[in-house]
Amino acid sequence: MSATNITWHDGHVSRDERAQLLKQKGLTIWFTGLSASGKSTVASALEQYLLHQGVNAYRLDGDNIRFGLNKNLGFSPEDRTENIRRIAEVSKLFADASTVAITSFISPYRSDRDSARQLHADAGIPFVEVFADVPVSVAEERDPKGLYKKARAGEIKEFTGISAPYEAPESPEIHIRTDQTPIAEAVAQIAKYLTENKLI
């Protein structure tokens, strides 16, 4: 930590009191997977579903965040780690405010995702990892943004799955083969997990 001469300031409202007043507890649902794996598609549908169920939810999307908060970061391993560190802190803040934070980031490094999980664990905030799993061949075939084609042509350096690694989760709470599972079914699978574990 580089900041000095700072002091944590507690407010007058505890997390439990906030949750009681808002009739909702917060948590983070962390989507990870290759580009074009369907992370954002399922995350968007989940956000819509939860809101229609009366659950306050907010989606933090990898590309969208790079337009603002993380616009100064590139795609080097160091910048990817900082990208995930920042979003882990932001999602924790949303969850602390009794919101269901839904993040959709490639987050290719297992150690970075583990750090995000630990950050939440240390704060006593639930963290649910969702692995949007597709083979690289399927993601490359989809390629809605044309990124795989550019990566194959050498126009994009350090592209996950092609010229940079993706470390798949070893034990995610939810594992969805998004090339074999309809969007509505994927949302239902996540909602079932959240309900059964009394997270919503």
The per-residue pLDDT for range 71-129, each reduced to its tens digit, is 999 888 899 999 999 999 999 999 999 999 999 999 999 999 999 999 999 999 999 99
What confidence category does residue 8 fall into, taking pLDDT thresholds of 50, 70 and 90? confident
pLDDT at 1 (0 to 100): 58
> Nearest Cα to 148, choosing from 37, 63, 56?
37
Which domains, ranges and CATH numbers included, belong to the chain?
24-135+165-196 (3.40.50.300)
SS (H, E, C) the chain: CCCCCCCCCCCCCCHHHHHHHHCCCCEEEEEECCCCCCHHHHHHHHHHHHHHCCCCEEEEEHHHHCCCCCCCCCCCHHHHHHHHHHHHHHHHHHHHCCCEEEEECCCCCHHHHHHHHHHHHHHCCCEEEEEEECCHHHHHHHCCCCHHHHHHCCCCCCCECCCECCCCCCCCCEEEECCCCCHHHHHHHHHHHHHHCCCC
Predicted TM-score of the model (pTM): 0.92
Q: Is 107 a catalytic residue?
A: yes
Over range 140-164, report the average pLDDT.
91
Q: Look at residue 200 in the predicted model and tell me its pLDDT.
A: 93
Q: What is the structure's pLDDT at 2?
A: 74
For the chain, give the mean pLDDT.
Answer: 94
Task: Given the residues 37, 40, 104, 107, select the one marked as catalytic.
Answer: 107
Read off the pLDDT of residues 40-81 as tens digits, 9 standing for 90 and up. Answer: 999 999 999 999 999 999 999 988 989 998 999 988 889 999
